[in-house]
Amino acid sequence: MENFLRDFIYYLSVEKGLAANTLDAYGRDLKKYLDYLQEQGIKLLEKTGREEIFHFLAAQQKNGLAPASVTRCLAAVRSFYQFLLKEQLIEVNPAKELETPRSDKYLPQVLSFSDVELLLEQPECSKIGGRRDKAMLEILYATGIRVSELVSLDVNDVNIKMGFLRCEGKGSKERIIPLGSTAIKSLMEYLKHSRAVLQKHREEKALFLNAQGKRLTRQGFWKILKKYSRKSGINGEITPHTLRHSFATHLLENGADLRSVQEMLGHADISTTQIYTHLTRQKIKDVYNQTHPRA
């Protein structure tokens, strides 16, 4: 079964062109599934059926896995069996008719606009690292890109004069996203006063560099964000995706159409973007309950 998993991940990488983060997520989910089957004494994939998959998903939910993550697990298992069917290693896909667990109750954490401003004020722009951190945070909130997309940016991916950046998302799909004036200003400050100091090798193309002059990693950015999150005193955990969620929600609250937000986020399916409409409707309901005299 481990050999089948390796072949499947290779197939997703080469033929489907999925991003490294997606491949890692599928690999982790399927490793958990195969481990679960082994614990149940099942050694052959053709011996599995709907019942085994259902009990695996139920076990994940019982262990506290978020509904969205359980949905991703099912998607990984379903795709895995579809691959095995295509390779004629099994005769039927037992996951084909299984329904995806509802994740309507899962609503991503979103910062208020005032909390976003508070977070973005934390970097000390008089320092080299502070100017870099300020530019990164401003770009994340201005564009809603993923942290993996942020650290993958090269200098040539940003057009300051025209006010946009180009990034490559999941499935190697390229998209163009506008940059706001505040993000542009912070980026110009970083490029003018910090990047040249951090750059150790002239051939380095990465936009955001660490203290060693190399491309900043996802882990490096997580540490930076965690530092400013603590410094701001904002309640709750702030992740890079929190800024992405806040970007989308604030756009919709201020009148942006769903299709435009979908395009900027790089969602293949608009149903993924629709989660943010639940958030905006909830906010309207909260405002109503707090302000209407007969609510």
Catalytic residue among 131, 134, 195, 244: 244
Among 64, 77, 97, which residue's Cα sits nearest to residue 35?
77
39 lies in the same domain as 153: no
> Up-side HSE of residue 148: CA atoms within 13 Å toward CB?
9
CATH of the domain at 6: 1.10.150.130
Q: Which of 28, 2, 31, 9 is nearest to 79 (CA)?
A: 9
* Strand pairing report for 174-178 and 164-168: antiparallel
Residues recorded for the chain = 295
- What's the alpha-carbon Rg for the chain, to the nearest Å? 22
Regarding whether 234 and 143 lie in a shared domain, the answer is yes
Same structural domain, 82 and 118: no
In the chain, the DSSP E strands lie at: 158-159, 164-168, 174-178
The span from the CA of 223 to the CA of 123, in Å, is 13
Output the six-digit token pair for 170: 């999941």
In a domain, 80, yes or no: yes
Number of folded domains that form the chain: 2
* Separation CA 60–CA 10 (nearest Å): 26
Question: Which tokens sit at 278?
Answer: 């639940």
Active site annotation includes 223? no
- pLDDT tens digits, 92-121: 888 876 765 554 445 568 899 999 999 999
Tell whether 249 is covered by a domain. Answer: yes
| Of 273 and 5, the one with more pLDDT | 5
Q: Are residues 200 and 285 in the same domain?
A: yes
Same-domain pairing of 239 and 136: yes
Residue 166: phi and psi, rounded to 5, are -115, 130
pLDDT band at 278 (very low <50, low <70, confident <90, very high): low
Which residue among 68, 86, 104 closes a domain? 86
Whether residues 60 and 8 fall in one domain: yes
Residues 13 and 80 in one domain: yes
Domain membership of residue 98 (yes or no) is no
- Is residue 167 located within the same domain as residue 275? yes
Residues 247 and 148 in one domain: yes
Q: Which of 151-165, 167-181, 242-256 has the lowest mean pLDDT?
A: 167-181
Asked if residue 165 lies in contact with residue 177, where contact means CB atoms within 8 angstroms, the answer is yes
200/55 same-domain check = no
Partners of residue 166 on adjacent β-strands: 176
Q: How confident is the model at residue 68 (pLDDT cuts 50, 70, 90)?
A: confident
Q: Is 267 a catalytic residue?
A: yes
100 occurs within a structural domain: no
Q: Number of C-alpha atoms within 13 angstroms, CB side, residue 176?
A: 6
Residue 186 sits in a domain whose CATH number is 1.10.443.10
> Is residue 70, in this structure, part of any structural domain at all?
yes
- Asked if 82 and 117 sit in the same domain, the reply is no
Sign for the pseudo-dihedral over CA of 270, 273, 276, 280: negative
Q: Considering the domain boundaries, does residue 105 fall inside one?
A: no
Q: Which of 146, 195, 245, 250 is catalytic?
A: 146
Which residues form the domain of 42? 2-86
Pick 43 or 80 by higher pLDDT: 80
Residue 235 lies in a domain: yes
The residue among 86, 101, 128 that closes a domain is 86
| Whether residue 165 sits in one domain with residue 25 | no
**Amino acid identity for residue 277 in this structure:** T
Exactly one of 166, 185, 241, 278 is catalytic; which is it?
A: 241
Task: State how far the Cα of 216 lies from the Cα of 219, in Å rounded to an integer.
Answer: 8
Q: Are 215 and 155 a contacting pair, CB within 8 Å?
A: no
Phi first, then psi, for residue 277 (nearest 5°) are -70, -30
- Separation CA 115–CA 250 (nearest Å): 12
11, 36, 170, 283: the catalytic one is 170
Q: Tokens 């994340």 correspond to what residue?
A: 140
pTM of the model: 0.63
Q: Is the pLDDT of residue 134 over 80?
A: yes
